[in-house]
Amino acid sequence: MSFSLDENSPATWWLMLLISTVLLSVFLYTIPDAIHKYDVSKNGKLVSVEITEVREVTIGSRHTYSLHFNYLNQKKPILTIGRSLFDAIRHDKETQLRHLPEYPDLFLAPDYDVKGQSISQVLLICFFAFMWPYSINKIRTLRR
C-alpha cells in the first residue's frame, strides 16, 4: 500500500476537504465579530479613553503595538494598534477611540481599516467554500 500526496491521490483530496472544512468553519465563526467591527468603524462615536500604558513588543523583526486603557473608570481589554497611532499617543494621557455602547468591549482606532479586513475575510471564505465541494468531486472522480 502506497501513500502519496499528488494530484491524483484520494488522500490529497481528503486532506484538502479536512483543511477546507476546518478553515471555513473558523472564518464563518468570525463573521459576527467582523460585523461588529464594521458597525463600530462606520457608526461608532469617538470617545475619550485614559491611557494606562502603550507598549511596543519586538519579536525578531516584527513589531506589535498595544494600548492599555480605562474607559468610564473600567479597565478595558488590550487593543492592538498600528504604528501611526502608537507614535501619535506614545506620550499622551488620553486618546480618542471609536466605540458603540452595544459592544462594550469593542474599541477601534479612529483609522481602523475595516474595508481591507472585510475583503480578505470574504475572499478566504469564498475560496474554502469552493474547495469543499471541489474536493468532494475530486474524491468521487478518483474512486471510479
Which pLDDT does position 128 carry in this prediction? 94
Q: What is the pTM of this model?
A: 0.75
pLDDT tens for residues 83-123? 888 888 988 999 999 999 999 989 998 888 888 888 889 99
Contact 89, 41 (CB under 8 A): no
CA distance 10 to 5: 8
For 33-67, how does the pLDDT look when each residue is reduced to its tens digit (9 = 90+)? 999 999 999 999 999 999 998 988 898 889 899 99
The pLDDT value given to residue 22: 96
**Separation between Cα atoms, residue 14 and residue 31, nearest integer Å:** 26
E strands in 60-144: 62-71, 74-75, 79-81, 94-99, 107-108
In the chain, where the domains are located? 17-143
Looking at residue 5, its pLDDT comes to 67
Give the tens place of pLDDT for each residue, 2-40.
556 677 888 889 999 999 999 999 999 999 999 999 999
- Rg, Å, the chain Cα set: 22
